[in-house]
Every structure is written in structure tokens, then in C-alpha cells.
């Protein structure tokens, strides 16, 4: 007999939770419900189902059985009552932010969020008459000082995905709650395996599921997790209105990706620590960026001791095991140098406030010894 008062184990969530094999002819893997709508045997049944698009298979923009299994697993992973899956991480952040504030109100966002979160806050909120401030999130006092009577939402990202600054989520959540301010935290970097912001008092947890949750670099998707009341509010609002939903096939791919989340993350984290140790000891490495324990995942940055952009490009071009690409959190290791966003790699054009030699590595599932050997040969030249 299982004790229903205990939350399901990680293993139970990834392998079984939300799945009812009697519903689909005992197939071990749930089918892809590739359908836009669902038919009913009577008007009365249809009417009843239409009242609960959140929970019933009625129309796929609202609910679809392939997506619903995923929703249940994601909510359980974050320890929240419910979850929504969206067509991208950017869509999840946009739905959470636009669904939480209106004209005349004010949003506080951490200083260095994900680039498109910054664009949303900086360029789109003012168009809707919503004021904003970017503040140094590493200081809870700085966040407190930015609170106005009109502040309704705090946008957090801890750690961020380039230089890994963190916020004291528990302290910030408690302070926000006192002021009646909603908190939203982008938890893509840690995944729910390393950090569960809702347990620290955060109201809404967002993910770019494109990263660790799917983990195979073949789906772009986003997730929002929170209380059922909050998730239902966002469902009736931006979710149904903007319609940024995942395709059933993508939900199915994500289910497959989730099966190995624990294994993948352990491997990436373990390999990342080996790569970090190697980089820290290398004379051509000026510094490394990595979150404080135990938050570190498979994404890290370091500064190459180089005076010209060309040296950095040469290093990156020589890597064989690391693909030159944006994004992260997939099975494959990636490298992304800051110089990739500077016009012609020109050092003088660097107005990012970050060192020219900053290089980000996403450590995938390859043999860490091969990754380190690859870095070693590229650094040797």
C-alpha cells in the first residue's frame, strides 16, 4: 500500500505519475493525441465538458491528453498544484508577466535576466502603461527599496544563465508576500531537481523546457508551475487568449525526454565539475563563473586570457567535441563565446560590461575525459 500523504518520489513522477495505461489499451508509452478537438456523445455531455476546458479534453488549445500527462508530471516535479505547458520559454514568461499586471502598475525585474525577458519588460510593458525597474537581485535590500505602492510583480531568475547571479529566493518571497506582490522565478538553470522555488515561497515558477526538461535539443517549449488558483487564472487569461500551446507531438517528445531527466542532469553536473576543476587549474583561464553549491548544473562560463577577439575565435573554432551554438541543456556539449554577438568580433564594440574573453560551455552527456581533452588541445594553441 502506498502512503498517499507522501509526495510521489522522483522516480515515480518520471516513470508513472499522470499515466493511466487502461485509457490507451495498456500501451506502455502514452499515445500522441494528435487531434485538435474532441467529440461528445450528447449535447449534455458536451455542455458539461465545455464548462471545464482546464481539466477536460474539449479543444486542444485548452487541454489535450498528451499535454495533460506532462502538466501533472511538471507540477509534481516543482511541488506545485498545477502547471501549464506553453510553446516556448519566452511564451511562458510573457504569459506570466502579462497575466499578472495591468496599466498603471509596476514590475520589478532582476538586472540581468534572460535577454528576451529583458526585452519584454523594457520594451513591451511601457507600451501597456506598466512601469518597471531593473534591480540588483543579489541584494534583497535593493529589491525592497524599489517597491512602490503600484508594484504587483517581481521577476526573478536565480541563477541566470550566463554569469549565474542568484537571489535569496526565500527572503525575497517572504518580503514580496508582505507587500502583496506576486513572485515569478525563471528556474530553467537549476531544473526542479536542484531547486524548487515554490517550496521557498515563490508563487510562479517558469522554465524554458527547451533546456533540461526536454534535454534533447529537439523541442522548444515552456512551463509555468504554481497553485491551482494561479494557474487557472493564467489559463483563462493569456494561455487561452494568446494560444501559445505546444503541439501534442512535442508534449510527447517532452515526456520521453523527462524519463531520463535525473540521469541526464546527474551526468551533466558531474562532468561540469570535472571541467571546472580543469579550467580553474589552467594558466590560460582567468576566472570561472558557476553558482554556489548546491545550485550548479551543467552550464558554466569562463574567461579566456586573450587580448583580441581573434584569439577567442581561434580557440572556439578549434574545439571538436563542443558545437558552436546558442541554447543549452541538451545531450550535446556546446560553446558560446561573447565575441559571437560583437559586430565583426570587434573588442571595442563590447559594451556588455562583461569581459571580452567570456565563453559559456554547456556540458552534455559525452565522456567528460573527451571534453577535457578537447579543451586542452584547443587551449594549447
Ligand X SMILES: *Cc1c(COP(=O)(O)O)cnc(C)c1O
Residue 184 near residue 153 (C-beta atoms within 8 A): yes
Residue whose CB is less far from ligand X, 147 or 195: 195
- Give me the least distance between CB of 314 and ligand X, in Å please: 27
**C-alpha cell of residue 208:** 524554458
Question: What is the total count of residues that contact ligand X (CB under 6 A)?
Answer: 13
Longest dimension (CA), the chain: 74
Buried b (16+ CB within 10 A) or exposed e, 274-309: ebbebbeebebbeebbbbeeeebbbbbbbbbebeeb
Q: Which is nearer to ligand X, 254 or 378 (CB)?
A: 254
Instruction: For the segment 113-142, give every residue that binds ligand X (CB under 6 A).
Output: 114
Q: Between 125 and 220, name the residue whose CB sits nearer to ligand X.
A: 220
Instruction: Give the one residue of 84, 220, 265, 306 binding ligand X; rule: CB under 6 A.
Output: 220
Q: Residue 258 Cβ, how far from ligand X at the closest point, in Å?
A: 16
Tell me the closest approach of the beta carbon of residue 23 to ligand X, in angstroms: 30
Q: Between 44 and 83, how does the x/- string for binding to ligand X read (CB under 6 A)?
A: ----------------------------------------
CA angle 225, 228, 233 (to 5 degrees): 90
Cell of 32: 500522441
Q: Using the minimum distance from each CB to ligand X, give the nearer residue, 176 or 206.
A: 206
Contacts with 356 (C-beta within 8 Å, 6 or more apart), sequence order: 306, 309, 312, 338, 339, 342, 347, 350
Given the complex with ligand X, which of 40 and 116 has the nearer CB atom?
A: 116
Tell me, letter by letter, the H, E, C secondary structure of 80-110: CCEEEEECCHHHHHHHHHHCCCCCCCEEEEE
Instruction: Select from 30, 222, 257, 330 the one that contacts ligand X (CB under 6 A).
Output: 222
Interacting residues with ligand X between 158 and 217 (CB under 6 A): 161, 186, 188, 208, 210-211
Q: Provide, rounded to whole angstroms, the least separation between the CB of residue 249 and ligand X.
A: 17
| Near ligand X in 77-106, by CB under 6 A | 88-90
Give least dist CB 360 to ligand X, A: 11
Q: Which is nearer to ligand X, 68 or 186 (CB)?
A: 186
336 binds ligand X (CB under 6 A): no
Give whole-number Cα distances, 309 to 316, 325, 334, in Å.
Answer: 11, 18, 19
Q: Is 300 left (phi over 0), alpha (psi -120 to 50) or beta?
A: beta
Residue nearest to ligand X (CB): 89
In angstroms, give the least distance from the CB of 165 to ligand X: 12
The residue among 222 and 296 lying less far from ligand X, judged by its C-beta, is: 222
Nearest to 51 by CA among 187, 236, 178, 189: 236
Q: Of 294, 97, 259, nearest to 189 (Cα)?
A: 294
Q: Which is closer to ligand X, CB of 27 or CB of 119? A: 119
- Do 101 and 109 contact (CB within 8 A), yes or no? no
Pairing relationship of beta strands 82-86 and 131-135 according to DSSP bridges: unpaired
Q: Closest CB to ligand X among 65 and 71?
A: 71
Cell digits of residue 287 = 576566472
Residues that bind ligand X (CB under 6 A): 88-90, 114, 157, 161, 186, 188, 208, 210-211, 220, 222
Amino acid at each position: 500500500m502506498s502512503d498517499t500523504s507522501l509526495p510521489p518520489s522522483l522516480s515515480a513522477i518520471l516513470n508513472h505519475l499522470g499515466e493511466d495505461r487502461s485509457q490507451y489499451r495498456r500501451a506502455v508509452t502514452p499515445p500522441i493525441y494528435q487531434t485538435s478537438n474532441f467529440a461528445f456523445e450528447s449535447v449534455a455531455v458536451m455542455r458539461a465538458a465545455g464548462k471545464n476546458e482546464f481539466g477536460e479534453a474539449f479543444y486542444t488549445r485548452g487541454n489535450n491528453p498528451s499535454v495533460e500527462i506532462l502538466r501533472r508530471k511538471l507540477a509534481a516535479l516543482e511541488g506545485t498544484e498545477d502547471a501549464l505547458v506553453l510553446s516556448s520559454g519566452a511564451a511562458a514568461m510573457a504569459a506570466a508577466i502579462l497575466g499578472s499586471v495591468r496599466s498603471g502598475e509596476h514590475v520589478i525585474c532582476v538586472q540581468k535576466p534572460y535577454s528576451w525577458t529583458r526585452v519584454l519588460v523594457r520594451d513591451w510593458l511601457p507600451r501597456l502603461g506598466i512601469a518597471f525597474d531593473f534591480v540588483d537581485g543579489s541584494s534583497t535590500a535593493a529589491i525592497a527599496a524599489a517597491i512602490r505602492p503600484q508594484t504587483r510583480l517581481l521577476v526573478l531568475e536565480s541563477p541566470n544563465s550566463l554569469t549565474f547571479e542568484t537571489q535569496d529566493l526565500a527572503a525575497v518571497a517572504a518580503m514580496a508576500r508582505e507587500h502583496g506582490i506576486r513572485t515569478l522565478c525563471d528556474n530553467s538553470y537549476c531544473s526542479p531537481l536542484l531547486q524548487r522555488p515554490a517550496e521557498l515561497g515563490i508563487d510562479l515558477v517558469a522554465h524554458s523546457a527547451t533546456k533540461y526538461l526536454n534535454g534533447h535539443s529537439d523541442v522548444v517549449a515552456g512551463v509555468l508551475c504554481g497553485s491551482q488558483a494561479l494557474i487557472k487564472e493564467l489559463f483563462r487569461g493569456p494561455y487561452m487568449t494568446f494560444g501559445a500551446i505546444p503541439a501534442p507531438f512535442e508534449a510527447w517528445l517532452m515526456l520521453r525526454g523527462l524519463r531520463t531527466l535525473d540521469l541526464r542532469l546527474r551526468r551533466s553536473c558531474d562532468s561540469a565539475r570535472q571541467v571546472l576543476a580543469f579550467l580553474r587549474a589552467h594558466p590560460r583561464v582567468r576566472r570561472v563563473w558557476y553558482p554556489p553549491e548546491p545550485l550548479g548544473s551543467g552550464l558554466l562560463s569562463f574567461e579566456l586570457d586573450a587580448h583580441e577577439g581573434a584569439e577567442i575565435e581561434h580557440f572556439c573554432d578549434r574545439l571538436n567535441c563542443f558545437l558552436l551554438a546558442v541554447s543549452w541543456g541538451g545531450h550535446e556539449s556546446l560553446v558560446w563565446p561573447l565575441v559571437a554577438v560583437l559586430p565583426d568580433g570587434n573588442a571595442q564594440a563590447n559594451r556588455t560590461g562583461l569581459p571580452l574573453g567570456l565563453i559559456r560551455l554547456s556540458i552534455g552527456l559525452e565522456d567528460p575525459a573527451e571534453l577535457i581533452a578537447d579543451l586542452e588541445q584547443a587551449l594549447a594553441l
